[in-house]
């Protein structure tokens, strides 16, 4: 201890410390400290005044005892006394004690402040420094209140010493961080900027830190600093390594100052002044050039300092994002680092590249390094570096390389570190969805994902798969088939089982035609895994079973037996028991029709922010997901919208199915499509929410991608200005065989329908969703019909509220009565004011003749008898057309059922043909209708024959139905 050997050293303190160090046990230490404390107390108590030396010694001892972890509740006064001493060492100890021990609410604070004030006012630079250090170390609000106004004047005063300026700048920085509101901005700010020109580099470094912080707070006040900073930077960069003497660190000129200046410049956009700009570009180029030069020293400090400046320069280049050449150069430089043997450099390079990837200029350049990055992923020893590699792969992924990257990530996943597995899973899930051109690939990828890393696949991931499969009509069959095959593995993950149960429950019918996956086989496959899984999965499987009962009446007894077994009906778990009992009763009591309604296929999910992405964001914390995503998300604006609508939906009304259910079930509403959701997906998708969808299978593929990322695909322009607009019938044809869905959508408004028909009456619930965050004013909607239609169809509109809040949803009920057969369609006119302009929207309402169908079951004999009765040539309409969609029996079945007629099996001698019968109810008459559809798979053609008692009806129905295949 050098201090002790000098005359000024404190022997008593040294002895005390060595005593404590020699203590054998905790108890001995406490005893020694108690003794010392008593001694100090008696000394402080003593009536004769202590000299400065003893005071300093005892305060030091107290400080030491405090730092050992004991409470000190006296001696503060003595410490404050030390402040007024003229000796440096005594003052120093006093300040030390105060910065460590004095808390802000101490009653001594005014005395302390007085001491500090005196020192600040003194002309002695060391005392001023001590005082400034103390203010900065304590950094409390009180300190800021007392001195925040005084320090700036010290900082900019002309006669202040350099070292004091340095301390003052740092002290102000600290106060600005702890209580920014108390640091007054004033004319000094302009003069602070000129400190960048100071002779003394230490002052410049301290001032740069201060200015950077202040500039973040009020960029405008410090705009002048740009030119000074650039000038200073260029002087440093171009200086020879020996010019700066003390500030040259291992042959690098003032690395800390350079880094700080570069940071400061990152607070601002690229300078507008061309000269300045070129000078800055020159600087950055020089820095990049220097990186290429052979190192001047082999010492690690040299390369560290050099690289620190380089990385900060690259950060600035990325921040400016304006010079393509620089960006590409930076990218190439980072590319070199990717293979550097220094792990830290590889880490930093990957991290910086991640941000580079989001720049449009350098995205391509980053992509060239894909192989290196993939290699890093595989061979890197350090897990944090691998993590960065994954991040970079995620960031550089686009349509062109998505398949490769996803495949690499998947293969890496098998032996990835456990800590990053979940994140990789999320990323793979997102990329697969985002860049899926072909949804079969998506389904394959996700199923693979679940197979490889089932444990790390979070709920959100598999929810998402199901949402997508349900929203994409064309992959449903494929998904069912793939899931079925995947489930055949002897040991499959529970998550796979969940997906499997859900998809087979919904779309098992699509693969039921194949004898290898007949309904019973499907059921047995699912049930074989039933006992191995957890309660929530079992609950989901039970729901899948009840869906099977609806899809395949032939397995009903088997499933009922399963439900009836004691292990279900008397299960200890209430949820399982309740499901088993209710499903069993439901399957026994309800007729086929009711079952079909209750267990209807899930309607498409509303599009919203991908739950996975939300999860990834949450996991990484704000700002860690590459910026581009954030930006794109905000542009799309969908995020807010879907979040906002949720609460309003809760209040929105009646369950349609409730009316249809004949029995007084206690929870009728929950039997509707939520049925499968209960307990699994319910929290995120309440039943009514289903109406709030903005994607549809037809436009789904593009919309999904749209919502996720694509800036390039132009969003539909909002209809502007008043006046007649085209009648929208984009989604119209979809509603021929469906009753619910989204009929219209643009950037402002989404219109969803939910309709129900009984005989000649119908009711449509129209949901208007405000997608913006501001109000729609003078909102009105009406239904107009052509004159002929008015005599055929009665449409009664309920009035609606004239304002729709931002993000809210409005419901309107339309009552419809069919008077006689019709072929025209009514039009829904919507008018509202948004942001001052009047919006006019007209949508074709999907009210078609076939909606008033009542299916009729009949035997083969009956059918042909009636067929012959309708033998008049005008009564028959026949059309032959080419298939627009793949010819799938199950899909066709579903469509014919959706059309409204009963599907009669075993009527036609050719089993491939479809035969249906139904009665159209109008107020005046009832029109019987028979139809026959003969597919020709070789030619991909259909022949549709319709016979009804009315010629016009036949024609209309034929037109409607033929568009569907």
Partner 1 sequence: MIGGLFIYNHKGEVLISRVYRDDIGRNAVDAFRVNVIHARQQVRSPVTNIARTSFFHVKRSNIWLAAVTKQNVNAAMVFEFLYKMCDVMTAYFGKISEENIKNNFVLIYELLDEILDFGYPQNSETGALKTFITQQGIKGQHQTKEEQSQITSQVTGQIGWRREGIKYRRNELFLDVLESVNLLMSPQGQVLSAHVSGRVVMKSYLSGMPECKFGMNDKIVIDKQGKGGTTEDTGKSSGKQSIAIDDCTFHQCVRLSKFDSERSISFIPPDGEYELMRYRTTKDIILPFRVIPLVREVGRTKLEVKVVIKSNFKPSLLAQKIEVRIPTPLNTSGVQVICMKGKAKYKASENAIVWKIKRMAGMKESQISAEIELLPTNDKKKWARPPISMNFEVPFAPSGLKVRYLKVFESKLNYSDHDVIKWVRYIGRSGIYETRC
* Residue list, annotated binding site: 11-12, 43, 53, 57-61
828-843 burial, b at 16+ Cβ within 10 Å, e below that, comes to bbbbbbbeeeebbbbb
Among 6, 24, 298, 516, binds partner 1 (CB under 8 A): 24
- Taking CB under 8 A as the rule, which mask of x and - marks residues 99-128 in contact with partner 1? -------xxx--------------------
Cα-flanking dihedrals φ and ψ of residue 945, to 5°? -125, 130
Among 3, 22, 31, 937, binds partner 1 (CB under 8 A): 31
Q: Please give the structure tokens belonging to residue 500.
A: 């499997």
The interface region with partner 1, picked from 37-45, 336-344, 529-537, 625-633 by CB under 8 A, is 37-45
**138 versus 168: smaller Cβ distance to partner 1:** 138
Q: Is 39 an interacting residue with respect to partner 1 (CB under 8 A)?
A: yes
Q: Give me the least distance between CB of 109 and partner 1, in Å please.
A: 11
Dihedral, CA atoms, 734, 738, 743, 745, nearest 10 degrees?
-80
Among 22, 34, 110, 419, binds partner 1 (CB under 8 A): 34
Q: Give me the least distance between CB of 43 and partner 1, in Å please.
A: 9
- Three-state SS for 715? coil
Number of H helices, E strands in the chain: 43, 17
Among 76, 617, 685, 731, binds partner 1 (CB under 8 A): 76
Among 47, 73, 159, 566, binds partner 1 (CB under 8 A): 73
**70 versus 141: smaller Cβ distance to partner 1:** 70
Q: Is 15 an interacting residue with respect to partner 1 (CB under 8 A)?
A: no
Among 41, 570, 619, 624, binds partner 1 (CB under 8 A): 41
- Taking CB under 8 A as the rule, which mask of x and - marks residues 330-349 in contact with partner 1? --------------------
Q: Give me the least distance between CB of 140 and partner 1, in Å please.
A: 17
Q: Please give the structure tokens belonging to residue 705.
A: 């991608």
Q: From CA 131, how far away is CA 114, in angstroms rounded?
A: 11
Q: Give me the least distance between CB of 22 and partner 1, in Å please.
A: 13
Q: Is 32 an interacting residue with respect to partner 1 (CB under 8 A)?
A: yes
Q: Give me the least distance between CB of 218 and partner 1, in Å please.
A: 40
Q: Give me the least distance between CB of 138 and partner 1, in Å please.
A: 17
Q: Is 12 an interacting residue with respect to partner 1 (CB under 8 A)?
A: no
Among 192, 270, 257, which Cα is nearest to 226's? 270
Q: From CA 238, how far away is CA 56, in angstroms rounded?
A: 50
CA distances from 632 to 30, 264, 629, 639 (A): 63, 27, 5, 11
**109 versus 841: smaller Cβ distance to partner 1:** 109
**34 versus 153: smaller Cβ distance to partner 1:** 34
Is the C-alpha dihedral spanning 154, 159, 164, 165 positive or negative? Answer: positive
Q: Give me the least distance between CB of 91 and partner 1, in Å please.
A: 22
Q: Please give the structure tokens belonging to residue 787.
A: 């004159």
The interface region with partner 1, picked from 39-47, 285-293, 618-626, 778-786 by CB under 8 A, is 39-47
Among 10, 13, 16, 37, binds partner 1 (CB under 8 A): 37
Cα-flanking dihedrals φ and ψ of residue 398, to 5°? -145, -170
The interface region with partner 1, picked from 27-35, 129-137, 224-232, 661-669 by CB under 8 A, is 27-35
Provide, for the chain, the percentages of residues in helix, strand and coil under a 3-state DSSP scheme, each rounded to the nearest 5.
60, 10, 30
Among 6, 26, 381, 868, binds partner 1 (CB under 8 A): 26
Q: Is 25 an interacting residue with respect to partner 1 (CB under 8 A)?
A: yes
Q: Hey, how many other C-beta atoms are within 10 angstroms of the C-beta on 389? A: 26
Q: Fill in the DSSP letter of residue 950.
A: S
Total interface residues for partner 1 by CB under 8 A: 21
Cα-flanking dihedrals φ and ψ of residue 857, to 5°? -85, 135
**37 versus 804: smaller Cβ distance to partner 1:** 37
Among 679, 751, 950, 727, which Cα is nearest to 840's? 727
| Length in residues, the chain | 965
Q: Is 38 an interacting residue with respect to partner 1 (CB under 8 A)?
A: yes
The interface region with partner 1, picked from 41-49, 785-793, 868-876, 937-945 by CB under 8 A, is 41-49
Q: From CA 189, how far away is CA 176, in angstroms rounded?
A: 13
Is the C-alpha dihedral spanning 288, 290, 292, 298 positive or negative? Answer: negative
**45 versus 650: smaller Cβ distance to partner 1:** 45
In order, the DSSP letters of 292-355 are HSPPS--SHHHHHHHHHHHHHHHHHHHHH---HHHHHHHHHHHHHHHT-S-HHHHHHHHHHHHH
In 791-939, the DSSP E strands lie at: 793-797, 809-818, 827-834, 837-844, 853-855, 876-882, 902-904, 914-921, 926-936
**28 versus 912: smaller Cβ distance to partner 1:** 28
**34 versus 720: smaller Cβ distance to partner 1:** 34
Among 12, 17, 20, 44, binds partner 1 (CB under 8 A): 44
With beta carbons less than 8 A apart as the criterion, state whether 260 and 212 touch: yes
The interface region with partner 1, picked from 29-37, 524-532, 585-593, 750-758 by CB under 8 A, is 29-37
With beta carbons less than 8 A apart as the criterion, state whether 207 and 191 touch: no
Q: From CA 683, how far away is CA 125, in angstroms rounded?
A: 66
The interface region with partner 1, picked from 18-26, 58-66, 560-568, 696-704 by CB under 8 A, is 18-26
Q: Please give the structure tokens belonging to residue 831.
A: 């008018």
Q: Give me the least distance between CB of 76 and partner 1, in Å please.
A: 6
Q: Is 42 an interacting residue with respect to partner 1 (CB under 8 A)?
A: yes
Q: From CA 396, how far away is CA 311, in angstroms rounded?
A: 20
With beta carbons less than 8 A apart as the criterion, state whether 581 and 557 touch: no
Dihedral, CA atoms, 62, 67, 70, 72, nearest 10 degrees?
40
The interface region with partner 1, picked from 71-79, 656-664, 789-797, 854-862 by CB under 8 A, is 71-79
Q: Is 45 an interacting residue with respect to partner 1 (CB under 8 A)?
A: yes
**99 versus 775: smaller Cβ distance to partner 1:** 99
**38 versus 489: smaller Cβ distance to partner 1:** 38
Q: Is 67 an interacting residue with respect to partner 1 (CB under 8 A)?
A: no
**49 versus 574: smaller Cβ distance to partner 1:** 49
CA distances from 392 to 174, 389, 395, 400, 411 (A): 35, 5, 5, 16, 17
CA distances from 622 to 626, 629, 704 (A): 10, 12, 24
Q: Give me the least distance between CB of 59 and partner 1, in Å please.
A: 14
Among 1, 3, 18, 35, binds partner 1 (CB under 8 A): 35
Q: Is 306 an interacting residue with respect to partner 1 (CB under 8 A)?
A: no
Q: Is 89 an interacting residue with respect to partner 1 (CB under 8 A)?
A: no
Q: From CA 396, how far away is CA 367, in angstroms rounded?
A: 6
The interface region with partner 1, picked from 20-28, 525-533, 589-597, 673-681 by CB under 8 A, is 20-28
Angle (CA) 925 930 934, round 5°: 155
Q: Give me the least distance between CB of 47 and partner 1, in Å please.
A: 11
Q: Is 527 an interacting residue with respect to partner 1 (CB under 8 A)?
A: no
Please report, as residue ranges, which positions from 685 to 704 form the binding site for partner 1 (by CB under 8 A). Answer: none
**25 versus 938: smaller Cβ distance to partner 1:** 25
**19 versus 398: smaller Cβ distance to partner 1:** 19
Q: Give me the least distance between CB of 34 and partner 1, in Å please.
A: 5
**Which residues of the chain form contacts with partner 1 (CB under 8 A)?**
24-26, 31-32, 34-35, 37-39, 41-42, 44-45, 71, 73-74, 76, 106-108
């Amino acid at each position: 201890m050098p201090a002790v050997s000098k005359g000024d050293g404190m022997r008593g303190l040294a002895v005390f410390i060595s005593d404590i160090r020699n203590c054998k046990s905790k108890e001995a230490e406490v005893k020694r400290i108690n003794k010392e404390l008593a001694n100090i107390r008696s000394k402080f108590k003593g009536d004769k005044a202590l000299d400065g030396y003893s005071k300093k010694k005892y305060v030091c001892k107290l400080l030491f005892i405090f730092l050992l972890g004991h409470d000190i509740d006296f001696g503060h006064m003595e410490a404050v006394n030390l402040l007024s001493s003229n000796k440096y060492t005594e003052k120093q100890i006093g300040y030390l004690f105060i910065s460590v021990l004095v808390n802000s609410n101490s009653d001594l604070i005014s005395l302390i402040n007085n001491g500090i004030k005196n020192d600040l006012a003194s002309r002695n630079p060391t005392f001023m420094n001590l005082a400034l250090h103390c203010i900065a170390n304590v950094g409390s609000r009180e300190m800021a209140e007392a001195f925040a106004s005084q320090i700036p004047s010290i900082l900019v005063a002309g006669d202040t010493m350099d070292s004091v300026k340095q301390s003052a700048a740092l002290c102000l920085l600290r106060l600005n961080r702890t209580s920014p509101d108390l640091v007054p901005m004033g004319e000094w700010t302009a003069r602070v900027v000129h400190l960048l020109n100071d002779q003394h580099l230490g002052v410049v470094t301290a001032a740069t830190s201060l200015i950077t912080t202040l500039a973040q707070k009020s960029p405008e006040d410090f705009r002048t600093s740009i030119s000074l900073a650039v000038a200073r930077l260029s002087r440093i960069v171009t200086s020879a390594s020996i010019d700066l003497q003390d500030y040259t660190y291992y042959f690098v000129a003032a690395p800390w100052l350079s880094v700080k200046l570069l940071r400061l410049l990152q607070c601002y956009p690229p300078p507008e002044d061309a000269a300045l700009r070129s000078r800055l570009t020159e600087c950055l180029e020089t820095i990049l050039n220097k990186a290429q030069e052979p190192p001047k020293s082999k010492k690690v400090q040299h390369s560290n300092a050099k690289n620190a400046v380089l990385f900060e320069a690259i950060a600035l280049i990325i921040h400016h994002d304006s010079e393509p050449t620089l960006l590409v150069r930076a990218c190439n430089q980072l590319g070199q680092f990717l293979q550097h043997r220094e792990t830290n450099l590889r880490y930093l390079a990957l991290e910086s590249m991640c941000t580079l990837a989001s720049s449009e200029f350098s995205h391509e350049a980053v992509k060239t390094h894909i192989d290196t990055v993939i290699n890093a992923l595989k061979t890197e020893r350090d897990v944090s570096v691998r993590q960065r590699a994954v991040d970079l792969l995620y960031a550089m992924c686009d349509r062109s390389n998505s398949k490769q990257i996803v495949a690499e990530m998947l293969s890496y996943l098998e032996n990835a570190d456990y800590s990053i597995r979940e994140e990789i899973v999320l990323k793979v899930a997102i990329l697969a969805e985002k860049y899926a051109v072909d949804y079969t690939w998506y389904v394959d990828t996700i199923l693979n994902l679940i197979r490889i890393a089932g444990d790390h696949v979070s709920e959100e991931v598999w929810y998402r798969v199901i949402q997508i499969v349900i929203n994409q009509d064309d992959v449903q069959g494929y998904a069912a088939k793939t899931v079925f095959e995947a489930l055949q593995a002897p040991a499959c993950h529970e998550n796979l089982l969940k997906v499997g149960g859900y998809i087979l429950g919904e779309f098992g019918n699509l693969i039921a035609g194949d004898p290898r996956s007949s309904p019973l086989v499907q059921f047995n496959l699912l049930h074989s895994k039933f006992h191995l899984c957890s309660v929530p999965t079992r609950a989901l499987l039970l729901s899948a079973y009840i869906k099977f009962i609806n899809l395949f009446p032939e397995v009903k007894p088997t499933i009922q037996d399963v439900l009836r077994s004691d292990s279900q009906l008397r299960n200890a778990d209430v949820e399982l028991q309740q499901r088993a009992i209710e499903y069993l009763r439901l399957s026994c009591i309800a007729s086929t029709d009711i079952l079909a309604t209750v267990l209807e296929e899930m309607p498409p999910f509303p599009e919203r922010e991908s739950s996975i992405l939300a999860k990834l964001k949450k996991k990484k914390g704000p700002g860690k997901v590459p910026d581009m995503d954030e930006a794109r998300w905000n542009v799309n604006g969908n995020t807010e919208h879907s979040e906002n609508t949720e609460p309003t939906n809760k209040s929105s009304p009646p369950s349609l199915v409730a009316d249809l259910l004949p029995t007084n079930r206690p929870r009728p509403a929950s039997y509707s499509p939520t049925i499968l959701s209960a307990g699994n997906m319910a929290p995120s998708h309440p039943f009514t929410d289903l109406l709030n969808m903005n994607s549809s299978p037809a436009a789904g593929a593009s919309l999904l991608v749209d919502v996720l990322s694509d800036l390039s695909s132009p969003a539909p322009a909002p209809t502007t200005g008043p006046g007649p607009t085209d009648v929208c019938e984009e989604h119209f044809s979809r509603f021929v065989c469906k009753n619910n869905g989204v009929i219209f959508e643009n950037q402002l408004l989404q219109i969803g329908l939910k309709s129900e028909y009984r005989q000649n009456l119908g009711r449509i619930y129209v949901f208007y969703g405000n997608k913006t965050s501001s109000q729609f004013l003078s909102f009105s909607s009406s239904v107009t019909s052509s004159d002929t239609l008015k005599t055929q169809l009665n449409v009664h509109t309920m009035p609606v509220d004239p304002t729709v809040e931002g993000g809210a949803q409005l419901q309107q009920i339309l009552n419809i009565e069919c008077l006689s057969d019709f072929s025209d369609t009514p039009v829904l006119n919507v008018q509202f004011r948004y942001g001052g302009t009047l919006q006019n929207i007209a949508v074709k309402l999907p009210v078609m003749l076939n909606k008033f169908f009542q299916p009729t079951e009949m035997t083969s004999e009956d059918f042909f008898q009636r067929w012959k009765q309708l033998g008049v040539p005008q009564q028959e309409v026949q059309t032959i057309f080419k298939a627009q969609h793949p010819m799938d029996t199950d899909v066709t079945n579903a469509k014919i059922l959706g059309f409204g007629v009963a599907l009669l099996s075993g009527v036609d001698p050719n089993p491939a043909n479809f035969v249906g019968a139904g009665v159209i109810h109008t107020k005046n008459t009832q029109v019987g209708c028979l139809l026959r559809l003969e597919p020709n798979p070789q030619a991909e053609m259909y022949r549709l024959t319709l016979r009804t008692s009315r010629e016009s009806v036949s024609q209309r129905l034929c037109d409607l139905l033929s568009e569907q295949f």
